[in-house]
Structure 1
C-alpha cells in the first residue's frame, strides 16, 4: 500500500464542544486536509513539543521516549492506518535495530510520540480519500442559498452533529465549503463524517 506523507498544519480549540481540539494534518504534496478531533491533554502534549517547551516534569509521551531509548528502541514512523465508523486508528512503527514492531495507538498519542522522535507521519490513500477534505476556492460560490427550513434547522437547539442529519447533501456541501473557508476544521470534520455516513 502506498503511503502519503502528512504534516501538521494546525491545532485549534473546538467551538462546539469544550475540551476538544481539531488537529489538522495536510499531505505534503497536494491540497487535501485531514482534520482529527482530539482531547485537551493530547493537544497540550502536541503543542508543547511543537513549541519546544520543556515541562518541569516529564509528561506521559516524554516518559515513553525515555523508556524506549533505555531499551534501545527507536520510532521509525507514525501511520494513520485506518478509519472505522468515524474513528481514526494509528500505528507507531518502532525498531530495536534487528526487528520492527507496529504498536496500535490513538492518532493523537502516536503523533505526540512521533514529534518527540522527529519522525514522519503517514497515511494511506484509502484513508485520505475517505476522510480527507479538499480545499477549493470556487465551490463555496457555486452552491445556492439554503432553503428556509434547512436554515432554521442549523440554528436549532440540537447538537451540531444531530442537526446535520436533517440537511440535504447539497446543504452539507455548502456548509463544508463555509467551514473550510473559515478554517473551522472541527466543524468540517463533523460535516465530512455525516457525508461519508450517507455514502
Structure 2
C-alpha cells in the first residue's frame, strides 16, 4: 500500500516526535516514533529548507547520484520487537546510449543481469528522509498497516504538528540531548533498534 508523509507530530505523553504516514485514500494512518535529529531531517526535506552544509541525507542522495543509483521506492515491510523494518529498492541508472557501450558479443540480457536491482535494509526514518529528497514512493505492507494504523483525526494531527513546531522553536541543544536520553516509550512501534543492532 502506498503511503504519504503527512508531517511530524509530538507525542503528548512522551514528548517524542512521530512521523505520520497516511494511505492515499486518507483513511488509515501509521505513526512511527523517531528522535529529534531524524525529525529535523524529515522536516527539512518536507520544507525544502536549504542547509549551509549538506545534512546526512542530502549527502546520501549525492552519493546515490554519483554511483548512478536510483531509489525506486521505500518499503516498510515488518514490525519486529516494536521496531519497524524498511528496505530501500535501488536500481542502476542506465544512460540512454548505454547500448553503444556493449562489448562485442555481449548480449543485452547479460548486461541487464549485471545491473540487478539492490535491496538495502534501512531504518524507516532514514528511508523516509531519502524518499522525500528523491521524490520516491513510500510503501507499507498491508499487514503492517493493519497492525500499526490508527484512526485518522485531521484536526488533532494539525494541532500535534503545530505543537511540535513550537517545541522545536523553544528547545535548546542541551535540552534536546537530555530529552533524547529519556524519550522512547518501549511499547510504541518505532524505528529504534537495540544497541547490539546495526543502525545503518
TM-score, normalising length: structure 2:
0.65
How far, CA to CA, are the matches of 1:190 and 1:11 in structure 2? 20
How far, CA to CA, are the matches of 2:188 and 2:133 in structure 1? 30
Matches within 5 A, 1:12-27: 12-18=9-15, 20-27=16-23
* Paired position in structure 2 for 1:63: 59
* Paired position in structure 2 for 1:74: 70
How far, CA to CA, are the matches of 1:124 and 1:82 in structure 2? 8
Q: 1:116 to 1:135 in 2, by over 3 A?
A: closer
Q: 1:190 to 1:23 in 2, by over 3 A?
A: farther
Q: 1:72 to 1:192 in 2, by over 3 A?
A: closer
Measure how far apart 1:120 and its partner are: 0.7
Q: 2:91 aligns with which of 91, 95, 106?
A: 95
Deviations 1:103-155 (A, max 9, x none): 1111000000111111110011100011111338xxxxxxxxxxxxxxxxxxx
* Paired position in structure 1 for 2:173: none
Q: 4+ runs of 1 displaced by more than 6 Å?
A: 189-193
Contact 2:33-2:188 within 8 A present in 1 as well: no
Which structure has the higher relative contact order (CA within 8 Å, separation 6+)? 2
Question: 2:136 matched to 1:119?
Answer: yes
Matches within 5 A, 1:1-199: 4-18=1-15, 20-97=16-93, 98-135=115-152, 182-183=156-157
Q: 1:55 to 1:181 in 2, by over 3 A?
A: closer
Measure how far apart 1:15 and its partner are: 2.9
SS in structure 2 of the partner of residue 127 of structure 1: helix
Contact 2:77-2:85 within 8 A present in 1 as well: yes
Return 5+ residue gaps in structure 1 as ranges.
137-179, 194-199
The number of residues matched between the two structures is 144
Return 5+ residue gaps in structure 2 as ranges.
94-114, 162-184, 190-200
Deviations 1:16-73 (A, max 9, x none): 334x311111000250100000111111011011111110001111111111111101
